[in-house]
Chain A
Amino acid sequence: QRSPLNDFQVLRGTELQHLLHSVGPRPWQEDVADAEECAGRCGPLLDCRAFHYNVSSHGCQLLPWTQYSPYTELQRSGHCDLFQKKDYVRTCITDNGVKYRGTVAITIGGLPCQHWSHRFPNDHKYTPTLRNGLEKNFCRNPDRDPGGPWCYTTDPAVRFQSCGIKSCREAACVWCNGEDYRGAVDRTQSGRECQRWDLQHPHAHPFEPGSLTNIWTTTTAGILTAPSGPGATPLIRRWSENSATSRAAPRSIKGSEAQPRHESTTLNCFRGKGEGYRGMANTTAAGVPCQRWDAQKPHQHRFAPEKYACKDLRENFCRNPDGSEAPWCFTSRPGMRVAFCYQIPRCADDVRPEDCYNGVGERYRGSVSRTRKGVPCQHWSAEMPHKPQFTAISAPDAHLEENFCRNPDRDSHGPWCYTTDPGTPFDYCALRRCDDDQPPSILEPPDQVVFEKCGKRVTRLDQQRSKLR
């Protein structure tokens, strides 16, 4: 009952664009039932490395490239999920790396690899085909060398050399009980391939993948294959069996795929979904006291503190042990099982201001050129990615130089710029109002204001009641 989707890694809400217009993807196929069927179509095709699945129209588009191919770019998408073949996107090897299709092209000794299609400086017997994957000068293992992928080198003195790509078995570890593990190991210790979490077959289960997984901050870890036999080393090793020491740093980290504490701890506010919140708020936003995590009354639950050693399920504090939208808790009210603790404020996620301005900053002439989120500003003279409405010609007094933050429209919230992020036309800058500059108060006696247009509604009570049925 293996699903063809098992060979793919998914990036939800993502499209893979090819930046060369001369190279087009295949046309959309709108007659598929689901992503599994797309995977079944793409899987056997040697020139299909990925596919888009449109969740709205149930269409799929097969792609001959991945995010690691040249001239490609990942973009957020409202309706597309991107599925890429694991062999092409993992950065470690399984078994001896025969299936490795990554893009490492340098040997363990630092020598650039020779192209497989070249016969100089090293002549050899291999002819690149789609099946053997001898592409460009990427490290490959066409002869099942126990040392893993290798290549002929461009140094005439060294005919070939191993590329030293790490085994996935050496490249992953977990903290605590592994509840924060976000790697891509997909085999059990005994060698069975895992069922995808986003499938309900062959086993139905309640663990739906998080609806809001932020693919833009999640790292992609290696994928492991089965160990060689019973009693082999667990695929994901623990750094500490003792939860009391589970917060200690790993003694050593082999490879680049170790799982660090990915979210910094906060006490008075929460960042992102608040998985790192360790403060002492213990009521819901509605003021209902939280149930203790180590209690099973009034609500029974699976979040026993000892099972989630990394989650700090102390007392009855609001926490987010399951990737929900915000810190939450079971409530002490029998009729209300869980509730969010939205009264905890979100932490400001702005970068540190680099300079200050007076007034609304219309006379700011400094050289800060990035937004409060750290995104570089677009040059005022550039037309891409955003066509500016203010230019040095249209606003000569605003000193719209280079990509420096300015305020050509006297925006009351300070200097701003067009951003280099195609999804954010403009944003305010990494600037603050100068300490000695007091903004004028708006709390003066109000002037007579005439509203030109406004909200109108039907107010007859009987109509309201009929709508309520």
Chain B
Amino acid sequence: VVGGQPGNSPWTVSLRNRQGQHFCGGSLVKEQWVLTARQCFSSCHVPLMGYEVWLGTLFQNPQPGEPGLQQIPVAKMVCGPSGSQLVLLKLERPVTLNQRVALICLPPERYVVPPGTKCEIAGWGETKGTGNNKVLNVASLNVISNQECNIKHRGRIRENEMCTEGLLAPVGACEGDYGGPLACFTHDCWVLEGIIIPNRVCARPRWPAIFMRVSVFTDWIHKVMQL
């Protein structure tokens, strides 16, 4: 996260490859399910042996025995509907919810976040020298309407995407944050409204950031978990 601060995001998870290296973020939407970005995986049928989700830590490289750290193998991957850029990961066993690990709720189907809503991104990715790369960083961003976003992005923003305001100082997601959450505070609740997807560059000043709009796929998420 560029322009963020060390912070707390108990639903943000770290995806780890077989070498234990962090490669993407994700969001805990159910005890045994993580939502992340399709771009993080080479195929919808990639063997997942050795892949893990790490939760309950703020450190990118927690020491062995770190209190609260949960390391859960990924059992299964389900790719989202065409154009969604989403992937659901089923974990080998449910996580233990506590003060460090919490679920984030899903938005109602087709819910559109009102412009001006305060949201946060979180991740262990690149900070481009703006912060501490070794801990979870959080940055605040405000939602803007697709109409406003399209002025800058020349009409390329689809309805299944959403935008946050581009600030003068670069603030936004970067390499290693992909798949992580855009969590918005709505009606006293933190809701997973967007998923961080790769963009051409990270945190470009004055350019709105683009996220996948989760509410368009809420029905798919429930269906996958149910079936």
Q: 1/0 contact trace for A439-461 toward B, CB 8 Å?
A: 00111101001110111111100
The answer to whether B47 and A454 touch across the interface, beta carbons within 8 angstroms, is: no
Q: How far is the CA of A308 from the CA of B141 in the complex (A)?
A: 44
By a CB distance below 8 angstroms, the chain B residues around A451 are: 105, 108, 186-189, 191
The answer to whether B111 and A339 touch across the interface, beta carbons within 8 angstroms, is: no
> Out of B8, B78, B105, B191, which one reaches A459, CB within 8 Å?
B8
How many residue pairs link A and B with beta carbons under 8 A? The number is 170
Asked if B75 CB lies within 8 Å of chain A CBs, one says yes
The answer to whether B81 and A284 touch across the interface, beta carbons within 8 angstroms, is: no
Q: Contacts A55-B49, A343-B201, A451-B187 given: A409-B38 contact, CB under 8 Å? A: no
Q: How far is the CA of A216 from the CA of B46 in the complex (A)?
A: 9
Q: How far is the CA of A345 from the CA of B85 in the complex (A)?
A: 10
> Out of B23, B99, B204, which one reaches A325, CB within 8 Å?
B23
Q: How far is the CA of A389 from the CA of B224 in the complex (A)?
A: 13
Q: How far is the CA of A305 from the CA of B63 in the complex (A)?
A: 40
Stretch of A58-66, A167-175, A420-428 that contacts chain B: A420-428
Q: Contacts A78-B48, A343-B198, A411-B219 given: A467-B105 contact, CB under 8 Å? A: no
Asked if B53 CB lies within 8 Å of chain A CBs, one says no
> Out of B108, B145, B199, which one reaches A343, CB within 8 Å?
B199
The answer to whether A342 and B178 touch across the interface, beta carbons within 8 angstroms, is: yes
Residue of B nearest to A284 (CB): B175
Q: 1/0 contact trace for B90-121 toward A, CB 8 Å?
A: 00100000011011110011111110000000
Asked if A13 CB lies within 8 Å of chain B CBs, one says yes
Q: How far is the CA of A456 from the CA of B191 in the complex (A)?
A: 9
The answer to whether A413 and B198 touch across the interface, beta carbons within 8 angstroms, is: no
Q: Contacts A12-B49, A325-B23 given: A441-B183 contact, CB under 8 Å? A: no
The answer to whether A446 and B112 touch across the interface, beta carbons within 8 angstroms, is: yes
Q: Contacts A13-B47, A442-B112 given: A455-B58 contact, CB under 8 Å? A: no
Q: How far is the CA of A343 from the CA of B42 in the complex (A)?
A: 14
Residue tally, chain A, CB below 8 Å to B: 63
The answer to whether A286 and B175 touch across the interface, beta carbons within 8 angstroms, is: yes
Asked if A304 CB lies within 8 Å of chain B CBs, one says no
The answer to whether A455 and B105 touch across the interface, beta carbons within 8 angstroms, is: yes
Q: 1/0 contact trace for B18-34 toward A, CB 8 Å?
A: 11000100000000000
Q: How far is the CA of A342 from the CA of B201 in the complex (A)?
A: 10
Asked if A273 CB lies within 8 Å of chain B CBs, one says yes
Asked if A99 CB lies within 8 Å of chain B CBs, one says no
By a CB distance below 8 angstroms, the chain A residues around B217 are: 413
Most chain A C-beta atoms within 10 Å of own C-beta, residue among B76, B82, B99, B102: B82
The answer to whether A273 and B42 touch across the interface, beta carbons within 8 angstroms, is: yes
Q: How far is the CA of A79 from the CA of B49 in the complex (A)?
A: 6
> Out of A55, A340, A348, A386, which one reaches B175, CB within 8 Å?
A340
The answer to whether A468 and B128 touch across the interface, beta carbons within 8 angstroms, is: no
Q: How far is the CA of A343 from the CA of B175 in the complex (A)?
A: 9
